[in-house]
Structure 1
Amino acid sequence: MTEPSTQEQTTTTNNAPANVAVDTSFENDSSYGDELSSYTASLTSSVLDYRHENGRRYHKFRDGSYLLPNDESENDRLDMAHEMCLLILHRKLYLAPIKNPQRVIDLGTGTGIWAIDFADLHPQAEVIGCDLSPIQPSLVPPNVKFLVDDIESEWAYENNPFDFIHARNLLCSIKDFEKLIKQCYRSIKPGGWVEFQDWDGYPYSQDGSHNDTGLKQYFDEVHGAFQKAGYEVRPGVKLESLFKDTGFVNVHVEKFVAPHGVWPKDPHLKEVGTWMQAQAEAGYEGIALAALTRYQKWTKEEVMILASKARADGRNRKIHAMYDFYVVYGQRPEN
């Protein structure tokens, strides 16, 4: 019998509605364990000697490889983004059909909130959260540990592979998604699953209301700076082909839409849009500052003006911006 091709094993589900109706009723106004292996960094004073710039705090380990802050304001935003993603996925942490996972890693874990939730849901699993900054809480489930490491460096997990590898919201963080996904393939057990949840970072509108706005200007300028620095800002649209080209089978793609603001008529999309607006407003300055001041030579004051324009247009219910969110998962072949 002829084996099905990878293309035949690919399933795509588009959860984005053909048209998002506008609500017209509104007026416009763990503890850190010791890891004595070659692929982890110990928590030394150099890791904790953070970089301070333009009133924000940044990681020191591999200084400059990540352009977003790691201070409390940014950590609060990351937790809001976690809640928003849970809403988009109807309270699901992941969509891959994993069964009884024993060893799991969360790439770019941030505050560790996904890893902690997963560990609570799967107490039998050993869950590792990996990030450049040791910003995670110390009181965590006993089956969670956090490591300081750069996921774009060479891995050494092949001899102790995972059942499930998860990554979310890595846009503007990774320069080489192809290399990263290949490292995931080498570090997942045969039959294991890898799932990436990520964005097309550019907002759009179905009615053209997003054109010629401060919100559009913000993303054009900020994402242009990230691209100049070598970062991927639209990973969501590329994940399917990267998974298939790497060799994953049973590749599944689900596409969701996330509005910006409370303008949708649909109650679920309105709630998602509320969280999108809240986390965006918490992050406009922090996301833009390093990228624009380091790579485009903007002043802090110019960045603040740009962020203020984006914030104002994000609150304007006549501007119907939205983003596409992709969940892509695939399985390493058994053989």
Structure 2
Amino acid sequence: MAETSTKGQTTNNNAPITVEVDTSYENDSSYGDELSSYTASLTSSVLEYRQENGRRYHGFRDGAYLLPNDETENDRLDMLHELCLRLLHRKLYLAPVKNPQRVIDLGTGTGIWAIEFADLHPQAEVIGCDLSPTQPSLVLPNVKFLVDDIESEWAYEGNPFDFIHARYLAVSIRDFPKLIKQFKPGGWVEFQDYDGYATSQDGSLNGTGLQRYYDEVLSAFEKAGYETRPGPKLERWFKDAGFVNVHVEKFVIPHGIWPKDKHLKDIGAWAQAGAEAAYEAGALAALTRYKNWTKEKVMLLASDARADGRKRNIHSLFYFYVVYGQRPEN
């Protein structure tokens, strides 16, 4: 179920969801030695992961991102990739990108989107950028991965990108408007992201352990300075940055298999599976570092959320936004 827009205007389609009844210095040797030493030091710092509360976190710019980067989390990210493909009817993106030559995927995670885009567009150079070097080493020749903080000053656009893609950056970025304003004119930019707070159309989420989970965890991210609800704000941020041809689509992602609609039921099953893998991962660092919770208290909160997420009479859902546009050349 989507909310679409044309010519920069959004058309609402927020019909209630029917609930299913329970049935250059190459000759300078000293410079080369210095560069090798620096590179070795940098590589070491990138791989010096933080181990905390039984989970592994990135080493480069330690603390800039509050979710793990271990194998359990990587499996969850790949699960979210499949969820998004199902939501968008197997499309990697919605922007009208034509014959892209240079593409970047921000916060690439496992690199799965970048790899699939490169396979789809073999003529394109595709860059995946992330704080963690957790992407596969054997990839297509037109893909490369960089370890960097995308909120630092941009140094990627000596040659502008034809397409800039970002997905699931909620609770990862502190200043979305600053990031978006750094993009150079010409190419398409597409962000796909959540309103991070769960809701329900019938009030069934109110007062549940599931609602408490999102209230506690997202307020911790907000205390740390992160944006938790980027989805509904993306259109305004794009337009404030001077973008034109801005297009918005708003999707409903149910939590669980309670919808009667077959497509929404499928989406809901994937969303619930992803959420169950995320309760612990999403809460541990945020609550222990910024609210002084113990690990045991976090695990109890996650357990309550997981239990409520499996109750068919709680009809929780999220709103997910796909927004794309261009900055004009002039």
Long gaps (5+) in structure 2 = 24-34
Counterpart CA distance in 2 for 1:325 and 1:41 is 41
Name 2:71's counterpart in structure 1: 72
SS in 2 for 1:80: helix
Measure how far apart 1:157 and its partner are.
Answer: 2.6
Name 2:15's counterpart in structure 1: 18
Say if 2:320 is the partner of 1:325. yes
Q: Deviations over 1:245-291 (max 9, x none)?
A: 10010000000000000000000000000000001101110110000
Counterpart CA distance in 2 for 1:227 and 1:25 is 37
Contact 2:129 2:146 in 1 (8 A): yes
Say if 2:236 is the partner of 1:237. no
Equivalent residue letter for 2:139: V
Contact 2:6 2:247 in 1 (8 A): no
Counterpart CA distance in 2 for 1:218 and 1:83 is 24
Contact 1:131 1:151 in 2 (8 A): yes
The 1:109/1:11 distance shift into structure 2, 3 A limit, reads: same
Name 2:100's counterpart in structure 1: 101
Q: Deviations over 1:98-133 (max 9, x none)?
A: 100000000000000000110011010000000000
Contact 2:164 2:188 in 1 (8 A): yes
Contact 1:43 1:148 in 2 (8 A): no
Say if 2:264 is the partner of 1:303. no
Equivalent residue letter for 2:21: T
Counterpart CA distance in 2 for 1:94 and 1:42 is 37
Task: Choose from 197, 205, 211 the match for 1:210.
Answer: 205
Contact 1:264 1:270 in 2 (8 A): yes
Measure how far apart 1:17 and its partner are.
Answer: 4.3
Contact 1:22 1:265 in 2 (8 A): yes
Q: What does 1:240-259 align with in structure 2 at a 5 Å threshold?
A: 240-259=235-254
Counterpart CA distance in 2 for 1:288 and 1:174 is 16
Contact 1:41 1:147 in 2 (8 A): no
Q: What does 1:38-187 align with in structure 2 at a 5 Å threshold?
A: 44-184=43-183, 186=184
**Would you say how many aligned residue pairs link Structure 1 and Structure 2?**
312
Measure how far apart 1:334 and its partner are.
Answer: 3.4
Measure how far apart 1:159 and its partner are.
Answer: 2.1
The Cα RMSD (Å) is 1.7
- Using the aligned pairs only, state the percent identity: 76
Contact 1:41 1:148 in 2 (8 A): no
Equivalent residue letter for 1:168: R
Measure how far apart 1:13 and its partner are.
Answer: 4.6
Name 2:220's counterpart in structure 1: 225
Q: Deviations over 1:14-69 (max 9, x none)?
A: 4x54110001033xxxxxxxxx9xxx999611100100000000001000000000
Contact 1:58 1:71 in 2 (8 A): yes
**Dislocated runs of 4+, deviation >2 Å:** 11-14, 40-43
Contact 2:287 2:298 in 1 (8 A): yes
TM-score, scaled to structure 2: 0.92
Contact 1:82 1:114 in 2 (8 A): yes
Measure how far apart 1:141 and its partner are.
Answer: 1.2
Equivalent residue letter for 1:25: D
The 1:142/1:43 distance shift into structure 2, 3 A limit, reads: farther
The 1:122/1:8 distance shift into structure 2, 3 A limit, reads: closer
